[in-house]
Structure 1
Amino acid sequence: MSESKIGEKALDSIIQEMVDVVTNSKDEIFQIGEQSRTEFEQLNSELNDTKKQVIEMIDEGDKLERQVRFSRMRLSEVSKHFDKYSEAEIREVYEQTHQLQMQLSVKREKEKQLREKRDDLEQRIRRLSETVDKADALGGKISVVLNYLNDDFKQVSEALEDAREKQAFGLQIIEAQEEERRRLSREIHDGPAQMLANVMLRSELVDRTFRERGVDEALKEIKDVRKMVRSALYEVRRIIYDLRPMALDDLGLVPTLKKYLATVEEYNSLQIDFSSHGEEKRLDSKYEVALFRLVQEAVQNALKHAEAKTIQVKFELKRNNVNIVVKDDGKGFDTNEKKEKSFGIVGMKERIEMLDGEITIDSSIGEGTVIMIQVPLNQ
Structure 2
Amino acid sequence: MSYRDLKWITILIPTILIGGFEFLRHSGPFLQGMSMETGNYFITILTFIVSLSFSNWMFKTIKEQNNRISSEREIRAIYEERERLAKELHDNIAQTLFLLKVHLKKGKLNEAQVLVNSIDSNLRQAIYNLRTSPSEHVTLSKRIENWLDDWNTVSGIDLKLSISINENYFTPAEEVQLFSLIQEAFTNIRKHSDAKYGSLHFETHPNEWKLIIEDNGRGFSENEILPSKYGLLMMKETVSKLGTTIDISSEKNRGSKIIIKGVKKQ
Deviation at 1:372, TM superposition (A): 0.5
For 1:377, the equivalent position in structure 2 comes to: 264
Deviation at 1:149, TM superposition (A): 5.7
SS of the counterpart of 1:330?
coil
> Does the 8 Å contact 1:152/1:351 carry over to 2?
no
Aligned pair count? 167
Counterpart-to-counterpart distance in 1, 2:246 and 2:94? 20
Deviation at 1:310, TM superposition (A): 1.1
- Please state if 1:246 is matched with 2:180: no
> Does the 8 Å contact 1:355/1:376 carry over to 2?
no
Counterpart-to-counterpart distance in 1, 2:263 and 2:140? 16
> Does the 8 Å contact 1:245/1:256 carry over to 2?
no
Map 1:158-197 → 2, pairs under 5 A: 174-175=95-96, 179=116, 183=120
Deviations, residues 79-138 of structure 1 (Å, cap 9, x unaligned): xxxxxxxxxxxxxxxxxxxxxxxxxxxxxxxxxxxxxxxxxxxxxxxxxxxxxxxxxxxx
Q: Which runs of 5+ in 1 are unaligned?
A: 1-145, 155-169, 188-237
- Please state if 1:300 is matched with 2:187: yes
Q: Quick one: which amino acid aligns to residue 128 of structure 2?
A: D
Counterpart-to-counterpart distance in 1, 2:182 and 2:232? 12
> Does the 8 Å contact 1:329/1:369 carry over to 2?
yes
Paired residue for 1:325, among 212, 223, 227? Answer: 212
Counterpart-to-counterpart distance in 2, 1:171 and 1:344? 12
> Does the 8 Å contact 2:216/2:254 carry over to 1?
yes
Counterpart-to-counterpart distance in 1, 2:234 and 2:183? 12
Map 1:94-133 → 2, pairs under 5 A: none
> Does the 8 Å contact 1:148/1:173 carry over to 2?
no
Paired residue for 2:243, among 356, 361, 367? Answer: 356
Percent identity of equivalent pairs:
22
Deviation at 1:280, TM superposition (A): 3.5
Q: Which has the higher helix share?
A: 1
Counterpart-to-counterpart distance in 2, 1:295 and 1:304? 14
> Does the 8 Å contact 1:357/1:375 carry over to 2?
yes
Paired residue for 2:225, among 336, 339, 353? Answer: 339
Length-normalised TM-score, structure 2: 0.53
Paired residue for 1:271, among 152, 158, 171? Answer: 158
> Does the 8 Å contact 2:220/2:252 carry over to 1?
yes
> Relative to 1, partners in 2 of residues 1:299 and 1:181: Cα closer, same or farther, differing over 3 Å?
closer
Deviation at 1:173, TM superposition (A): 7.0
After superposition, the CA RMSD in angstroms is 3.5
For 1:151, the equivalent position in structure 2 comes to: 85
Counterpart-to-counterpart distance in 2, 1:239 and 1:346? 16
Q: Quick one: which amino acid aligns to residue 281 of structure 1?
A: N
SS of the counterpart of 1:319?
coil
For 2:178, the equivalent position in structure 1 comes to: 291
> Does the 8 Å contact 2:158/2:196 carry over to 1?
yes
SS of the counterpart of 2:220?
coil
Q: Which runs of 5+ in 2 are unaligned?
A: 1-79, 99-114
> Does the 8 Å contact 1:307/1:331 carry over to 2?
yes
Deviations, residues 38-90 of structure 1 (Å, cap 9, x unaligned): xxxxxxxxxxxxxxxxxxxxxxxxxxxxxxxxxxxxxxxxxxxxxxxxxxxxx
Counterpart-to-counterpart distance in 1, 2:246 and 2:186? 15
Counterpart-to-counterpart distance in 2, 1:176 and 1:246? 28
Rg larger for: 1
SS of the counterpart of 2:265?
coil
> Relative to 1, partners in 2 of residues 1:247 and 1:324: Cα closer, same or farther, differing over 3 Å?
farther
Map 1:44-59 → 2, pairs under 5 A: none
SS of the counterpart of 1:313?
strand
Counterpart-to-counterpart distance in 1, 2:212 and 2:133? 22
Deviation at 1:176, TM superposition (A): 8.0
My pick for the range that moved more, 347-356 or 314-323, is 314-323
> Does the 8 Å contact 1:361/1:369 carry over to 2?
yes
Deviation at 1:153, TM superposition (A): 5.8
Deviation at 1:338, TM superposition (A): 5.4
Deviation at 1:343, TM superposition (A): 2.3
Deviation at 1:171, TM superposition (A): 6.1
Where relative contact order (Cα < 8 A, 6+ residues apart) is larger, the structure is 2
> Relative to 1, partners in 2 of residues 1:173 and 1:306: Cα closer, same or farther, differing over 3 Å?
farther
> Relative to 1, partners in 2 of residues 1:373 and 1:172: Cα closer, same or farther, differing over 3 Å?
farther
Q: Quick one: which amino acid aligns to residue 95 of structure 2?
A: I
